[in-house]
DNA sequence: CTGAAAGCGCTTACAG
DNA sequence: CTGAAAGCGCTTACAG
């Protein structure tokens, strides 16, 4: 005979609908109706259910209801970023979290550290948990392995970088235009030798920014001097060393365009050590805290990480709500913030 | 007759064990054994299952297996922090993620923004999803509502702040000692009027840091001048204004102790605007990026956020592994990093 | 070593 | 408006 009394193992310590039904003297179907807010329940019975639920400390088991439910929703989405501890990733996550929360959805997260193998592992781990959808900054360049999953109905939105070999929604910054704006700003202040310091060129955003750098020089009919270009600066040390090497050239650059957050900070540090921070101009891609407080303040091309994360989540939910229009890439504009470092002029001009 | 063919609705597009079993011509129990790596399966049958699974793109449904499984594990934990976008919270999350990942566990996160109501909502949302455990930075001062859940077997570890009215494991920084170290450092450099700028005093860590400030002054037999103490500086504007007011006093402080990250940064900004950053000494609680590059560099009491997050996750998993020893609070030491701002001496000493 | 039956906690589809 | 039966995808407990 089913009783409110449960077995001895740990899991049964948590009351179920059956326990609530037994205490209220009703069927579990009626309890289910009350828990789910179905309006066609006798108010008196509803009260009995609510009292019993409160008394037992009953909480619905979402994972069980999801299993049987026709929409199959877990009210959970997955979010994969480069590194949860990095300010840009953290801002993306927080923005997506807020959109999700407004719909009662929670976010599972994972850091990929630019490792395609990890991307696949974590995607599988998320899918095994039957997340309703995925927001991700891809680490690899090939997401075709997700095609079957997409067919199976899992919604996915890419953010910061477009997917490779897969048609899916994406929300990205206007990287190329941002880089063009940065370089043209330096050109407008009289610079003709502008160094490029960038992250791994295999990262799509890095490639797009480098492309913008090239285009701006070409448009100004200036030659691209390969000695002034340094890629693959993934560590702080590598970036600082690259700055030192560039400035030790017979014809050193009078300005630098740094294509990413950490590279920009490393360059600041190197210029200060060389005591050239009031002399060599610099514009960085990506804003960072305290950029305004340094002397000179660091001019940057700011990305709107909040908007990227927010829009990506909104697109995901609109897909979950049934939007079946063609997938597309949305571009979020960047913004030049002049703070001093980008407005330094070369000696030749100042003289 | 059960066939590999499925119905038309979205969820059935994803193959189940039943589909794999049908294709392999075996029972679903055998498929289950292979999927779970049970060794007592005929190698030939195991191969048949694996082939069928690969062909269908089968992925196990973790949420279904969890429902029936005797350990009831979801391989998912919940982590609630102050704000995922804040560097300290982000570092906690990343550290916990790494520990969890090494055990095949994923992390659901949520930001509380110091709101106790949100704390309760998100805790419920996590429990409804049957997370194996919880790591949290509590927003409210009373966690007694979790007692029943703790009884029911949910493991929980508090980080950065101890729980209120609940016996549970906690991992915290040595806030009081850190504050004492900061103030004694300033005293050792000749300061006698040291201002205190802090966040809401209702936050336990803020209270502990203020306590350390008071103790250090008392130990040095110096009076505590209430004019030099400002609490509740939760916004940047409030913090900057407080600095201005303190420095406008007839007898202004010659040094400041700022009890938190954002307050420290706001104070830097205010001192720079007043052109007193080379004159008024400062030690901040909590390190932050670029603190070393400012001029002067900002001396801080650094917390080890990585260690806090890592240890909290490790304690949680040791509990999940069956450790039933008495709950306890672990304290992670802080470290003074002198960078210049804390070593400025008051005029009277320099003269 | 393999499989048919029962059940995890819930919802669906259907009678009353 | 209420409830008994069946089933979501899987594992347990038990036969063979």
Which positions of chain B have pLDDT values less than 50?
A: 1-12, 351
pLDDT of residue B261: 87
pLDDT at B151: 86
Kindly list the strands in the beta sheet with A255-258, ordered across the sheet, starting from the edge strand earlier in the chain.
A229-230, A194-197, A255-258, A281-285, A299-302, A335-337
Note whether B92 and B160 are within 8 A (CB). Answer: yes
Residue closest to C7 C1′ by Cα: B68
Q: Which of B79, B113, B152 to mutate to test the interface with A (most CBs of A within 10 A)?
A: B152
pLDDT of residue B12: 44
Beta-carbon contacts of B60 under 8 Å, excluding residues fewer than 6 positions away, are A128, B17, B35
Cβ of A87 under 8 Å from any chain B Cβ? yes
Length of chain A, in residues:
351
Question: Does at least one atom of strand C sit less than 7 Å from the CB of A29?
Answer: yes
Query: For residue A293, which residues of chain B lie inside 8 Å, CB to CB?
Result: 265, 268-269, 272, 294
pLDDT digits (tens, 9 = 90+) for A160-199: 999 999 999 999 999 999 999 999 999 999 999 999 999 9
Nearest CA in chain B to A108: B108
Residue B75, both tokens = 């391989």
Please give the protein residue whose CA is closest to the C1' of the nucleotide D7. A68
Tokens read off for A146: 């997700």
**CB atoms closer than 10 angstroms to residue B183:** 26
H or E element in which residue A79 lies: strand A76-81
pLDDT tens for A249-262 read 999 999 999 999 88
Q: Which of A282, A333, A344, A274 is nearest to A304 (CA)?
A: A333
Q: Say which DSSP state A46 is in.
A: H
Q: Hey, do B10-60 and B76-173+306-333 end up sharing a CATH topology, with the first three levels equal?
A: no
Chain A contact for B104 (CB, 8 A cutoff): yes
Cβ of A71 < 7 Å from strand C?
Answer: yes
| Distance of B47 CA from C12 C1′ (whole Å) | 36
Q: Is the CB of A12 under 7 A from strand C?
A: yes
For residues B132 and B292, is the Cβ–Cβ distance under 8 A? no
Query: pLDDT for A107-165, tens place per residue?
Result: 999 999 999 999 999 999 999 999 999 999 999 999 999 998 998 889 999 999 999 99
Residues in chain B: 351
d(C-alpha B79, C-alpha B159), whole Å = 10
pLDDT of A310 > 90? The answer is yes
A59 to chain B, any CB pair closer than 8 A? The answer is yes
Q: Which residues pair with B299 in a beta bridge?
A: B283
- Residue in B closest to A151 by C-alpha: B13
Q: Please write the tens of the pLDDT for every residue from A59-107.
A: 999 999 999 988 889 999 999 999 999 999 999 999 999 999 999 999 9
| Cross-chain Cβ contact B62/A109 below 8 Å | no
Sign of CA dihedral A76, A79, A83, A84: negative
Read off φ and ψ for residue B111, nearest 5 degrees.
-105, 135
Of A70, A85, A293, the CB nearest to B94: A85
Highest mean predicted confidence (pLDDT) among A41-55, A335-349, B61-75, B90-104: B90-104
**Does A57 score more than 70 pLDDT?**
yes
Give me the residues near strand D, CB below 7 A.
Answer: A 26-27, 29-30, 33, 40-42, 45, 64, 67-68; B 11-12, 14, 16-18, 28-29, 32, 35-36, 60-61, 64-65, 67-71
Contacts of B256 (CB under 8 A, 6+ apart): B194, B195, B196, B197, B243, B246, B267, B280, B281, B282, B283
Is the C-beta atom of A32 closer than 7 angstroms to strand C? yes
Tokens 């007898």 belong to which residue? Answer: B251
Mean pLDDT of chain A: 93
Residue spans of the domains in chain B: they are 10-60, 76-173+306-333, 175-303+336-350
CATH of region B175-303+336-350, choose from 3.40.50.2300, 3.30.450.20, 3.40.640.10, 2.60.40.10: 3.40.50.2300
Q: CB distance B106–A125 less than 8 Å?
A: yes
- Give the gap in angstroms from C-alpha B96 to the nearest C-alpha of chain A: 11
Report the nearest residue to nucleotide D6, CA vs C1': A68
Condensed to tens digits (0 to 9), the pLDDT of residues A17-26 reads: 999 999 999 9
Phi and psi, residue A161, nearest 5°: -140, 140
Q: Is A117 on the interface with B (CB under 8 A)?
A: no
Which of B7, B11, B86, B96 to probe by mutation at the A interface, max A CB count within 10 Å?
B11
Asked whether the beta carbons of residue B60 and residue A128 sit closer than 8 angstroms, the reply is yes
Residue B40 CB lies within 7 Å of the nucleic strand C: yes
How high is the pLDDT of residue A289? 85
| Crossing angle between the packed helical segments A261-273 and A236-247, to the nearest 10 degrees | 50
| B239 interface with A at CB cutoff 8 Å | no
User: Tokens in use for A300?
Assistant: 């940057």
**Contacts made by residues B31-38, CB under 8 angstroms, sequence distance 24+:** B35/B60
What pLDDT band is residue A312 in, cutting at 50, 70 and 90? Answer: very high
Q: Tell me how far apart the alpha carbons of residues A152 and B58 are, in angstroms, rounded to a whole number.
A: 11
The reported pLDDT for the residue numbered A2 is: 33
User: Which of the four pLDDT bands, split at 50, 70 and 90, describes residue A7?
Assistant: very low
Instruction: Assign A349 a pLDDT band (cuts: 50, 70, 90).
Output: low
Note whether B311 and B332 are within 8 A (CB): yes
Interval A232-289: pLDDT, tens? 998 999 999 999 999 999 999 999 999 998 899 999 999 999 999 999 999 999 998 8
Task: Pick A175-304+336-350's CATH classification: 3.20.20.10, 3.90.1330.10, 3.40.50.2300, 1.10.10.10.
Answer: 3.40.50.2300
Q: Which CATH architecture has domain B10-60?
A: Orthogonal Bundle (1.10)
Percentage of residues of chain A with pLDDT beyond 90: 86
Amino acid A3: pLDDT: 33
Instruction: Tell me the longest C-alpha to C-alpha distance in chain A.
Output: 97
Q: How many CB pairs under 8 A join A and B?
A: 159
CB contact under 8 A, B128 and A9: no
Domain B76-173+306-333 has CATH 3.40.50.720: no
Third-level CATH fold of A76-173+306-332: Rossmann fold (3.40.50)
């Amino acid at each position: 005979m089913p009783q409110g009394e449960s077995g001895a193992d740990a899991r049964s310590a948590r009351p179920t609908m059956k326990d609530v039904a037994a205490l209220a003297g009703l069927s579990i179907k009626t309890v289910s109706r009350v828990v789910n807010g179905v309006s066609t329940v006798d108010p008196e019975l509803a009260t009995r259910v609510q009292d019993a639920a409160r008394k037992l400390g009953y909480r619905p088991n979402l994972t069980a209801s999801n299993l049987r439910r026709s929409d199959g929703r877990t009210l959970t989405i997955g979010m994969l970023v480069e590194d949860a501890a990095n300010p840009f990733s953290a801002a993306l996550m927080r923005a997506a979290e807020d959109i999700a929360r407004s719909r009662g959805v929670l976010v599972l997260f994972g850091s990929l550290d630019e490792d395609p193998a990890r991307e696949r592992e974590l995607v599988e781990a998320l899918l095994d948990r039957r997340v309703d959808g995925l927001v991700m900054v891809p680490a690899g360049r090939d997401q075709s392995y997700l095609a079957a999953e997409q067919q199976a109905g899992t919604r996915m939105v890419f953010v910061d970088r477009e997917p490779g070999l897969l048609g899916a929604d994406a929300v990205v910054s206007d990287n190329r235009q941002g880089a063009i704006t940065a370089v043209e700003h330096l050109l407008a202040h009289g610079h003709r030798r502008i160094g490029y310091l960038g992250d791994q060129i295999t990262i799509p955003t890095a490639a797009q920014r480098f492309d913008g750098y090239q285009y701006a020089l070409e448009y100004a009919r200036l030659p691209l001097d390969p000695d002034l270009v340094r890629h693959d600066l993934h560590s702080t040390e590598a970036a600082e060393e690259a700055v030192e090497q560039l400035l030790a050239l017979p014809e050193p650059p009078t300005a630098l365009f740094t294509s990413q957050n950490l590279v920009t900070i490393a360059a600041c540090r190197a210029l200060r050590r060389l005591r050239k921070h009031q002399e060599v101009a610099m514009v960085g891609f990506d804003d960072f805290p305290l950029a305004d407080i340094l002397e000179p303040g660091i001019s940057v091309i700011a990305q709107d990480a909040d908007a990227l994360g927010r829009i990506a989540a909104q697109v995901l939910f609109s897909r979950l709500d049934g939007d079946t229009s063609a997938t597309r890439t949305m571009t979020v504009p960047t913004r030049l913030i002049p703070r001093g470092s980008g407005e330094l002029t070369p000696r030749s001009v100042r003289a």
